[in-house]
Structure 1
Amino acid sequence: MATRALPKSEWEAYFDHVSKHLKAETAEIEVASINLGDQIEAEWVPFYGVSYDPKDDVIEFVLEGVDHLVPHPKEVYVDDSIEGLRSIKVVGADGVRHIAKLKEVLKLPPPDECV
């Protein structure tokens, strides 16, 4: 595994790149915190995209039947190695972790420009 922190300056371009290459991937969204424990919000449903809106400071995961928003995210971690993207973890301002896990590794071509 190659989990790495993604600098905030790269969020918008990285998520646009990921969303552009999603085809028939399925994912699950897990929400985890000390108060809530681990909760599955969406379990292995079609994953349509992820985006960061710097104006509203919100990350949005779009899955079938679920529009999962993380307002004012503090940190983003991606598990992306040479094989491809496995998961995205977003830590919200409240410390809650929002984890999107892909069922199959998403093979990403190199970005057209430096992210």
Structure 2
Amino acid sequence: MALQKLDKAEWHSFLDYLSKGLVGKRTEIEVASLALGKQIEAEWLPLLGIVYDPKDDVIDVALEGVDHIVNRPRELYVDLAVGNLASLEIVDADDNRQIITLRDPLMLPPPPEARPSAQQGQERSR
């Protein structure tokens, strides 16, 4: 699966835009780190929203009954293959990875101003 890296300046508007289409989507959150290995924090709960607060440098993923906070996020990758959003991957300052997977990919093309720029050329595979 190829992931595209979003520029940090795009995070707030992109996540705000996505949140509007993601409300109620069944979502899984997996946290992966060298110290802890892979752990499922939330399994297929309805998503309430996902936001980036640039002032506090925090991404908040709100699910029904779970509020997952990512402090000092360093990188944000999105899987937008063929106009479908299947997952997001957030890498924090400690190199922990939070993988947010949608049970059913969301057919929601990004707005032109928040689309990952092709000039970045930073794609990676999981």
Q: What TM-score bracket applies, with the shorter chain setting the length?
A: over 0.9
SS at structure 1 position matched to 2:80: strand
> Which has more helix, going by share of residues?
2
- What are the within-5 Å matches in structure 2 for residues 28-107 of structure 1? 28-107=28-107
SS at structure 1 position matched to 2:19: helix
State the Cα distance separating 1:52 from its structure 2 match: 0.3
1:114 aligns to what? Answer: 113
Greater RCO between the two (CA within 8 Å, min separation 6)? 2
State the Cα distance separating 1:21 from its structure 2 match: 1.0
State the Cα distance separating 1:15 from its structure 2 match: 0.2
Residue type matched to 1:64 in 2?
A: E
Identity over aligned residues, as a percent?
52
2:19 is the counterpart of 1:19: yes
Residue type matched to 1:65 in 2?
A: G
In the alignment, the residues of structure 2 paired with residue 14 and residue 107 of structure 1 have an alpha-carbon distance, to the nearest angstrom, of 15
TM-score, L = length of structure 1: 0.93
Which runs of at least 4 in structure 1 moved beyond 3 Å after TM superposition? none
Superposed CA RMSD in Å reads: 1.3
SS at structure 1 position matched to 2:11: helix
Give 5+ residue unaligned stretches, structure 2. 115-126
Residue type matched to 1:9 in 2?
A: A
List per-residue Cα deviations over 1:38-81 (Å, max 9, x = no partner).
Answer: 00000001011111000000001010111000011010101112
Count the aligned residue pairs.
Answer: 114
> 35-44 vs 80-89, which deviates more?
80-89
TM-score, L = length of structure 2: 0.85
